[in-house]
Chains A and B, each alone.
Chain A
């Protein structure tokens, strides 16, 4: 009986290792990175995302299926800067040697882009602040260029036999992305300088890039949900200094935003934040198209 079980395990083991050899298993922490690695890796990668658009990537559980997925991963591709600190370290204990911090297979995107919102003083009374700065880097399209470049380098090093394939896919993606940036830059010119209210700092990179002015945050402090008294404070604040729009993400609770919108008639834009955040946002291009359209629609009517 015991022998049978061992044999079964060994058979399973050898089968799965032969499967792995065909395509690179990529464990992306967030949908945006799954999408990017699919753009460049094409059919030579098999990517999964640990979170989906409705989930707050700060707070997910190291649930069993994720252990199974990270266990087989050849590349771990995440935002970093503390975004996944609540669950990734635990999962990494079960992952391969080649995807541990410092190894080629461990790729934290924010290590390759400028990071904003780095706090000068760190104190938990300020809420759940990231000492490393704001990790939501993917919402600045220029950051995508930097991350894609490093991703291409990593893919080629991990999987040299497909190096030229990756390079071709990469060149193609970069051409399309640069064209899109120039189109978007024209589109956002009309909404520059608008005053907005945010829920969490999730959109800071997008706001910085568009040059919108965030004047208040619905969360009391980062990670601490809105309270009635805090919302009243905001109400008072914007009576003197009116905001143009309230911006929230799929995974933020809507109550606070709706309450404020009702009191002030300020429009609320629910931006997709990541791939799958709304029906249109099926890939990175569509994500930015949709975000810009939504902001324009809410600010200027349809």
Chain B
């Protein structure tokens, strides 16, 4: 109890002291500003010549940049009953089709800043409605070393929780996607996106063409791997990718990725069914090609993009021994007709692994059916900060099940908006 009192008094002293310090600080700053204004008035706004420090600090350049993404949609599904499971797979909650009707999508709040000369930090939280409640989901919270950290040139370390390097879409936030929902392999294998806790190192080679390699260790408690208890890294990854220009208006990128984990605590589906325990390995390869017919991507652009997934699982599903490989892939093409309008088409498909006798009749039993999804979208972009999208999906996730879905969506970006990756 005594100890507690001492701590409390120390805390109060600290708070009072720091408040005073802040007040002093503000006073100092006001004085400083007044002095500066006086100085400027004397100079009559004349430009300083040949000063050694030319760097100008603008606006809130010293504070974290703050960005907000607002995203609302209207969904209409032809299949009114509960969505059928993706035949032959056990998927997580985020992999489902979502709610029907008018709704808010993920509202994202992002703070990011250079922490000092050596680190960059970023945090993104998404506020979503799940089961009738507003929930805050931490999407990313990471720090990354800057080139001043003095790792070898081209090398960088990222630690925390982030959308790690895997395939094309995973590194991108959902608001930057070309379609209103993610393709089937992302819904099935990654529960929409892989943002486990861990650390990743990347190295860009000093070559004429683009080449980057990297890998990481993770807790192993986010799809594609679940149930990591933190005792030892539950998952690890490795990747390599290359890219370049074909000519000044065409460019491409190609990558191979690997994530392996031991699912020690078990990976259950959304409804707690068919728990997998054992080793799962996900192999991904992706490509992206972009063509700017007029040389200016702002006016017209054609992109082709695809990702191919293979998942090998060696372990048990509900104590039934399982060793099999399933596949998933999608290809998409988006064409920008002019600076405001785009149209796109996407096809995705899954191929199940055969199941042992013990799993026949469960969700894991694909019965030789390949779930597919087709999406057509068109969107209108007023400025780089606002976009409205219309999308039609046809999901055929199980034999005889057809779900025609219509989505109308807006995506708004407020405040600072960091650059998007390629």
Contacts and interface: CB of A to CB of B under 8 A. Distances in A.
A58 B156 CA distance: 27
A59 interface: yes
A238 to B, nearest CB: 24
Contacts of A89: 418-419
20 contacts: A55-B292, A55-B295, A55-B297, A62-B419, A64-B243, A65-B209, A67-B204, A68-B210, A90-B418, A93-B147, A97-B147, A97-B153, A111-B56, A114-B47, A122-B59, A124-B414, A131-B58, A132-B58, A225-B339, A253-B339
B294 interface: yes
B211 interface: yes
Given A102-B55, A112-B54, A63 B243 contact: yes
Contacts of B204: 67-68, 71, 94
A59 B297 contact: yes
B401 interface: no
Interface residues of B, number: 53
A100 B295 CA distance: 29
B147 A92 contact: yes
Contacts of A112: 54
Contact of A64 (B54, B210, B295): B210
Interface of B: 47, 54-56, 58-59, 120, 144, 146-148, 150, 153-154, 156, 204-212, 242-245, 248, 251-253, 290, 292, 294-299, 338-340, 382-385, 414, 418-422
A39 B340 CA distance: 39
Given A55-B297, A97-B147, A132-B58, A62 B210 contact: no
A282 interface: no
A100 B148 contact: yes
Nearest to B385: A124
Interface of A: 9, 12-13, 16-17, 20, 52, 54-56, 58-65, 67-68, 71-72, 85-90, 92-97, 99-102, 111-112, 114, 122, 124, 127-128, 131-132, 223-225, 251, 253
Given A55-B292, A94-B204, 12 more contacts: A9-B205, A55-B295, A63-B253, A65-B244, A71-B153, A89-B419, A93-B147, A95-B147, A111-B55, A122-B59, A131-B59, A224-B382
A96 B58 contact: no
A127 to B, nearest CB: 7
Contacts of A95: 147
Contacts of B297: 55, 59-61
B371 to A, nearest CB: 32
Contacts of A97: 147-148, 150, 153
Contacts of B419: 62, 85-90
A253 B296 CA distance: 10
B208 A68 contact: yes
A95 B298 CA distance: 25
Contacts of B55: 101-102, 111
Counting chain B CB atoms within 10 Å of each CB, the highest count among A17, A92, A225 belongs to: A225
Nearest to A102: B55
B300 to A, nearest CB: 10
Contacts of B252: 64
B418 A56 contact: no
B209 to A, nearest CB: 6
B251 A253 contact: no
A255 B383 CA distance: 18
B421 A62 contact: yes
Contact of A54 (B296, B338, B420): B296
A108 to B, nearest CB: 8
Nearest to B54: A111
Given A124-B385, A224-B382, A90 B54 contact: no
Counting chain B CB atoms within 10 Å of each CB, the highest count among A64, A72, A94, A223 belongs to: A64
Contacts of B120: 93
Nearest to B145: A93
A267 B294 CA distance: 23
Contacts of A16: 206-207
A88 B296 CA distance: 17
Nearest to B338: A253
B59 A68 contact: no
B45 to A, nearest CB: 11
Contacts of A61: 290, 297, 420, 422
A157 to B, nearest CB: 12
A223 B382 CA distance: 9
Nearest to A225: B339
